[in-house]
């Protein structure tokens, strides 16, 4: 059984929620390879130094595209993207592109803690 890779992204207003979610699922995520956009990855690594997190660029500076390329190349088994639907998103096109790629490549994607729980449960059971 190969190690699964999951990508984690969170908008600014959701970064605390992502760090908390990761802490709740630290044991399961510890057996996976984690990639995350810049600030999100840094926050996760600081809060959970026992996890191995590979940080990419910040989302608006290319991190979203890096994750998109990983989706297209088949290098991810799941994507957790905590989206803040109440804040303006200057890089909304990047969000839409990631969502589109996840659908095209049939990648399990979660945009809230409850759906992230379901995706992680699915990935851990597979």
Q: How confident is the model at residue 1 (pLDDT cuts 50, 70, 90)?
A: low
pLDDT in tens, 30-82: 999 999 999 999 999 999 999 999 999 998 889 999 999 999 999 999 999 99
pLDDT given for residue 87 in this prediction: 77
The more confidently predicted of residues 83 and 79 is 79
Exposure b/e, 91-117, CB count within 10 A at least 16 = b: eeebbebbeebbeeeebbbbbbbeebe
pLDDT given for residue 91 in this prediction: 64
Question: Phi and psi for 25 in degrees, rounded to 5?
Answer: -115, 25
pTM assigned to the model: 0.94
CA atoms of 99 and 88, how far apart (whole Å): 17
Please list the active-site residues. Answer: 64
- The domain segmentation of the chain, as residue ranges, is 5-125
Determine whether domain 5-125 maps to CATH 3.40.50.1380: yes
**Is pLDDT at 12 greater than 60 in this prediction?**
yes
Contact (CB, 8 A) for 9 and 81: yes
**Is pLDDT at 115 greater than 70 in this prediction?**
yes
Report the SS3 class of residue 45. Answer: helix
Average confidence (pLDDT) over 19-35 = 97
Task: Give the residue carrying structure tokens 């992502």.
Answer: 18
pLDDT in tens, 88-112: 766 678 788 999 999 999 999 999 9
pLDDT given for residue 111 in this prediction: 93
Name 36's Cβ contacts closer than 8 Å, sequence gap at least 6: 7, 8, 9, 44, 53, 54, 55, 56
Q: Give bridge partners of residue 79 from the DSSP assignment.
A: 7, 109
């Amino acid at each position: 059984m190969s190690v699964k890779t999951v990508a984690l992204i969170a908008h600014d207003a959701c970064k605390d929620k992502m760090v908390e979610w990761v802490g709740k699922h630290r044991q399961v995520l510890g057996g996976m390879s984690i990639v995350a956009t810049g600030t999100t990855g840094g926050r996760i690594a600081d809060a959970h130094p026992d996890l191995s997190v590979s940080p990419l660029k910040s989302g608006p500076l290319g991190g979203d595209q890096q994750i998109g390329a990983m989706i297209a190349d088949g290098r991810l088994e799941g994507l957790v993207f905590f989206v803040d639907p109440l804040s303006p998103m200057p890089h909304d096109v990047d969000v839409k592109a990631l969502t589109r790629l996840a659908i095209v490549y049939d990648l399990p994607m979660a945009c809230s803690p409850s759906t992230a729980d379901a995706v992680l449960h699915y990935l851990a059971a597979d």
